Structure 1
Amino acid sequence: MDGIALLTVLVLAGFAGYEVISKVSSTLHTPLMSGSNAISGIVLVGTVVVAGQATSPVLLAVALVAVALASINLVGGFVVTDRMLQMFRRPAAKAGGSGGSGSDGDGKEPAA
């Protein structure tokens, strides 16, 4: 494909992606983030495969930059998803003097 066709596909994919994501309800954003993290993981695997098959130092350098950027994207996605999930957690019970709650004060249930 020539450059104009590739640019056209990129622009159309961008518009289609924006329209699809903007129609997702707020309650589905967390599962959507999980799905995008899975896709980012697949992209990272692809960049590692490409880096392993590089035949010249320039291609290897570009592939290693791609691996680094894909890794940053994947880790950032998990950090953002974790922050979103923390918004839905119940507040931890305050450690009181009763001692009969079965909790050791750290907000976690005791191990069985």
Structure 2
Amino acid sequence: MTGVANSIVGFSTIFFCLAIGADGITANIVGYAVALTCSFLLNRHYVFGVRGTISHTEVGRFIAVFFTAFGVNMAVLLLTQSMLGEGSPVAQVLAVGAYTLVFYPLTRLFVFRRKSVA
């Protein structure tokens, strides 16, 4: 559910920016910036149940995980497009799947890891 909500926020932001006259690249950058912020907040609170003050370390780690997962996404996309064609929906699905397979565990282990009880 958080992924769906985040996608709606991101696409809505992109379409709003386009509607008020922003070019496609600007709209995309703004949309992703808003969606990344939304993703952080939704994942932190609803997916991983973290409460309390947000730390700079947490934000930095989240951004690092995002770029890592996005890099994997792009690598898989380029590889699968080279085999299936540039417009292949299968390539897109595989790329998004790879993103998710990297993003979730790294977010769980590196960003919002639970403190062990001593």
TM-score by length of 2: 0.33
TM-score by length of 1: 0.34
Task: Point out the structure with max Rg over C-alpha.
Answer: 1
